[in-house]
Amino acid sequence: MGTALGTSLYIMSGKQHGDTVIYKDEDLLAGQAGGKMPEYITAIRVWHDDYIYALEVFYDGVSSGVRKANNTHPAQQTDIILAFGEHITQISGRHGDIIDHLEFTTTAGKVYNFGTSAGGVHFAQSGGIGTVVKAITTGWGGQLHLIGAHWGVPYIPYIQSAIAGKVHPDTVHFDDFTGSLAGFKRIRIVELRVLHDGNHVYGIEAIYSADGTIITGGSHHGPLNLGVVNQAVPLPEGTLIVGFKGNGGD
């Protein structure tokens, strides 16, 4: 799973009344996923007519449960299915004492509208540049009273780069991503350790932050000579390796 719940930005719109029942999806997610945000909101199911009467949000394909009003008003059901890599970038609409109108805007430029009431005043939620909705909170009475969103950075799947160098009969392969990092999502190199003698590179060890845990990929090397030193290159938060280059033959 992704970022810790406490690290996200929370924004709420609407009003809480004496009969408002609050449903916090992040509470459910914390119980199921060790306090981690999901990577994706994959779908949202909405029951609506003039107003909004129920919401069901799916995180990584798993339902958080139907969050609904306390009446049995018949309503139309609409499903928002988010494509792979598509995220919600804005929640907007109108509210007074209740949410009169609700809109979801996605990174694909799509806008989904619910509720035909023109009451209340306009609201718009956005977590800022580069952020998307990670989890939703709702409050219900006879209709939707309030809606809140946790905002964070979207999860971008990792891809493998091309390989430089040559493969020989005695070449031993090491892949940290499919080895010690298997199953982790939020991965960042925090330190790179290079074994070298000033002329040649003999080995590499990468230290990672993986879902908040510090993990070593292991020291990968062949035979070492007496002149080899272990040079550490720290990579503080915000410092990233964006490319590799060098010279190579065999």
**What does the buried/exposed string (b/e) look like for 35-44 if buried means 16 or more CB atoms within 10 Å of the residue's CB?**
ebbbbbbbeb
pLDDT score recorded for residue 30 = 61
pLDDT score recorded for residue 165 = 85
The residue among 148, 114, 113 whose CA lies nearest residue 134 is: 148
First to last CA, the chain: 40
Which residue has 């408002």 as its token pair? 20
Split the chain (250 residues) into runs of 10 and give each run's mean pLDDT.
55 94 79 60 95 93 90 86 94 96 96 94 92 93 94 79 85 89 85 93 93 90 90 89 82
pLDDT score recorded for residue 136 = 94
Q: Dihedral of CA 195/198/202/207: which sign?
A: positive
| The amino acid at 141 | G
How would you classify residue 105: left for phi > 0, otherwise alpha for psi between -120 and 50, otherwise beta?
beta
Which residue has 């879902």 as its token pair? 211
DSSP for 177-192? TTTTTTT--SEEEEEE
- How far apart CA 106 and CA 154 sit, in angstroms, is 12
Contact in structure between 201 and 245 (CB atoms under 8 Å): no
pLDDT score recorded for residue 102 = 97
A 10 A CB-CB count for 201 gives 13
Q: How many helices (H) and strands (E) does the chain have?
A: 1, 17
pLDDT score recorded for residue 36 = 57
Residue ranges per structural domain of the chain: 5-152, 158-250
CATH, range 5-152: 2.100.10.30
pLDDT score recorded for residue 53 = 94
